[in-house]
Amino acid sequence: TDRPKISDIFPTLKNLLDLTCETIEQKEAPKDIDLAFITLPPTISMQYVPLFAGNGIKVIDFSADYRFRDKSLYEKWYKAQHTDSKGIETAVYGLPELFRNEIKKTNLVGNPGCYTTATILALAPLLSKGLIHSEDIIVDAKSGVSGRGREPKEDTHYCECNENIEAYSVGSHRHSPEIEHILSIKTNQKVSIQFVPHLIPMNRGILCTIYAKPKVVGANGRSPLHDDEVHKLYKEFYGKEPFVRLKEGNEMPRTKDVIFTNFCDIAAKVTENRIIIISAIDNLIKGASGQAVQNMNVMCGFDEKTGLL
């Protein structure tokens, strides 16, 4: 059979990228490449990553196979034995805002999930400073239909998802342990969340509304923190980050402002007994391919904004 061009599979790339697709022999990695993006499903990806990484090729893996440092946690949630023990132990979680120095030194990056990116970036400053209870966090997340993948499913048929919002994978979504695992590692404490994702009738974009309980409350039961103080904390934490934008005052993140970009927009508000954090990303860019390009730039010593701004 004739080998297809990438533009045959993705017509929007016609006359932009017309490279011919090649097959990969499972026992031999392609030669003369510096870096590989592996976009295979979980449990399949680990069969190919060692072929590349073992030949000195830098690898950015899109599946969940290299996002966990705890092999048993991966196996519990993905119901499969992890066959690349060395890889899962040495891989770096690909969130440059939190793990930039480690990404610079590694040859294997596990590219984060979309919900996890939006949630971890929203919570990291408050958890790092110990300002919220790490085991009393509620994450209400909403994603466009592309977040459910390209493979057709009943709930992504037009007549099912149009004019409809529904929760799915309640209490069982695989991004939940990923969020807890990475935040626990980064902030040196046990992090536990209640995570509920929702499918909403739009193509792309994620909006997370997160409810956290402040550790310190006054005699009146209210947090002594003010919006300005929380905003200052986020500004200090992310001030130099090119792809994190903080909303001012009463302005809140919107998916419309981040789609087709690599930005994560964040806002935080203090209420009587909660701190509410809202974040928005494009699930296909900052939640996937854009973040992978950002990781490539860090790994290869390029300007981090190359190809993204």
307 within some domain: no
Looking at the fold, whether 172 and 88 belong to one and the same domain comes out as no
Task: Give the catalytic positions in this structure.
Answer: 114
Q: Is 1 a residue whose pLDDT tops 60? A: no
Average pLDDT for residues 96-120, to the nearest whole number?
A: 98
Amino acid at 305: K
Looking at the fold, whether 180 and 105 belong to one and the same domain comes out as no
d(C-alpha 139, C-alpha 185), whole Å:
19
Looking at the fold, whether 60 and 167 belong to one and the same domain comes out as no
CATH at 104: 3.40.50.720
Looking at the fold, whether 162 and 47 belong to one and the same domain comes out as no
75 within some domain: yes
Picking from 155, 157, 153, 212, the residue whose alpha carbon sits closest to that of residue 179 is: 212
Average pLDDT for residues 195-213, to the nearest whole number?
A: 97
Provide the pLDDT for residue 297. 99
Please write the tens of the pLDDT for every residue from 148-161: 877 778 888 888 88
Looking at the fold, whether 255 and 269 belong to one and the same domain comes out as yes
- Which of residues 45 and 219 earns the better pLDDT score? 45
46 within some domain: yes
Looking at the fold, whether 153 and 15 belong to one and the same domain comes out as no
Provide the pLDDT for residue 219. 66
270 within some domain: yes
Provide the pLDDT for residue 160. 87
CA 247: distance to chain centroid? 20
Looking at the fold, whether 149 and 77 belong to one and the same domain comes out as no
Which pLDDT band holds residue 26 (cuts at 50, 70, 90)?
A: low
Percent of the chain clearing pLDDT 70 (strictly above)? 98
96 within some domain: yes
306 within some domain: no
What range defines the domain where residue 170 resides?
Answer: 114-284
Looking at the fold, whether 67 and 46 belong to one and the same domain comes out as yes
Instruction: Tally the domains of the chain.
Output: 2
Please write the tens of the pLDDT for every residue from 166-203: 999 999 999 999 999 999 999 999 999 999 999 999 99
Looking at the fold, whether 140 and 47 belong to one and the same domain comes out as no
CATH at 246: 3.30.360.10
Provide the pLDDT for residue 161. 87
Looking at the fold, whether 106 and 118 belong to one and the same domain comes out as no
Provide the pLDDT for residue 230. 96
Output the CA torsion sign for 183, 69, 64, 259. Answer: positive
Give the global pTM: 0.94
149 within some domain: yes
Average pLDDT, rounded, for the chain = 94
Provide the pLDDT for residue 27. 66
With a CB cutoff of 8 Å and minimum separation 6, the contacts of 166 are 155, 198, 199
Q: Is 105 a residue whose pLDDT tops 70? A: yes
Please write the tens of the pLDDT for every residue from 62-76: 999 999 999 999 999
Which of 23-27, 191-195, 291-295 has the lowest average pLDDT?
Answer: 23-27
309 within some domain: no
Looking at the fold, whether 12 and 33 belong to one and the same domain comes out as yes
Please write the tens of the pLDDT for every residue from 242-254: 999 999 999 999 9
Looking at the fold, whether 100 and 131 belong to one and the same domain comes out as no
